[in-house]
Amino acid sequence: MSDSLEVPRIFGDNMHNRARYLIFFQYIGTNYSGAVKVPTHQLVRKGVQDHLEDAIRRLRPLNPVSLSISSRTDTGVHALSNSAHFDLQRKNNKPPFTEDVLVEALNFHLRTEQIRITRAHQVPDDFHARYCAQSRTYVYRIALGISHYSQLPLTECSLCWNLRNMELDVGAMREAAAMLVGTHDFSSFRAVSTDLPFKNPVKTLDVVNVLPGKSFPHVHFHRQIPFWELTFRSRSFLYKQVRRMTGALVAVGRGELSMPQLKDILEARDSLAYPQGLTAPAQGLFLTHVDYREAGEDESNSNKKICSFHDRHQRSGYEAQSHQSCNFT
């Protein structure tokens, strides 16, 4: 950590009992208005961040609670592994919580919500959960041959996109997916939002896969339901980019959109070029990984790296606007 880093005065004078934590958490997004907190004047239902910060406040920290979330999922989108960092200083000069105790304590206060902390790591004071992330992986789940949601098992309700189609042209979808891989201006695949002028539309998609999937209770349900999973991995994504790409790929699979038409949409670099009504619904989308492995590192070793903050000192790249380092210790 740089000696020049200024520590805000919101903390007490005894800094040895202050710690910055990186937490990984999962949630079913159906009942939340997205991952980030909701402004008070817009509060209809809370965001996941609101509940996480409420749980942290229940630990009675000395400092004000402020959570920085790595990936801002939309209303109705789920996560098997999102991440965030926050600072916590305990009162009465108590030492920082151990990671296991922190996970258990937060989950106790979240027990009435569909939110769970899966793990926590103590990280340096200049670590940033959003800017240090090397990649994010989303999986979109599609169920085929479902004319009405009541035909789904209960464990799949609001967790997939159910289509009437019995089949999709998966070969055409994979050909279309290959067109999206690489570095492109994805302006046509982002929805209009308040931060539109400030986001660089050029993104690099490392992975776009179309693979067979499974129903969660496939062994026990009375009939087999064909599932497909669309996987997308990139350093970062634009607003609703994954859902728009999914909708386009499914339209190709249904024969409603041709390859030349998809190419024209991509090359238009204009959000208005994206056909209305094509965006995939939120409920089928899962954030599955936020990866902090070192750039260029073998992915097979990434979980060991992520889980060994205390055993290694490593550096990750991050966006230019952040002045923090991404050292793990």
Catalytic residue among 13, 74, 169, 264: 74
What are the two backbone dihedrals, phi and then psi, of residue 261, each rounded to the nearest 5 degrees?
-65, -40
d(CA 243, CA 190): 9
CB 180 within 8 A of CB 263: no
- 269-308 in b/e form (b: 16+ CB < 10 A) is eebeebeeebbbbbbbbbbbbbbbbbeeeeeeebeebbee
Q: Find how far residue 32's CA is from the centre of its chain.
A: 14
* CA-closest candidate to residue 37, choices 22, 47, 23, 51: 47
User: Quick check: is 74 catalytic?
Assistant: yes
69-92 burial, b at 16+ Cβ within 10 Å, e below that, comes to bbbbbbbbbbbebbbbbbbbbbee
Contacts of 288 (CB under 8 A, 6+ apart): 79, 80, 81, 137, 138, 139
Q: Which residues fall within 8 angstroms of residue 50, CB to CB, at 6 or more apart? A: 37, 38
User: For residues 250 and 69, what is the distance between their CA atoms, to the nearest angstrom?
Assistant: 30
Q: Which of 5, 66, 3, 77 lies closest to 35, judged by CA? A: 77
Q: Which residues are catalytic?
A: 74
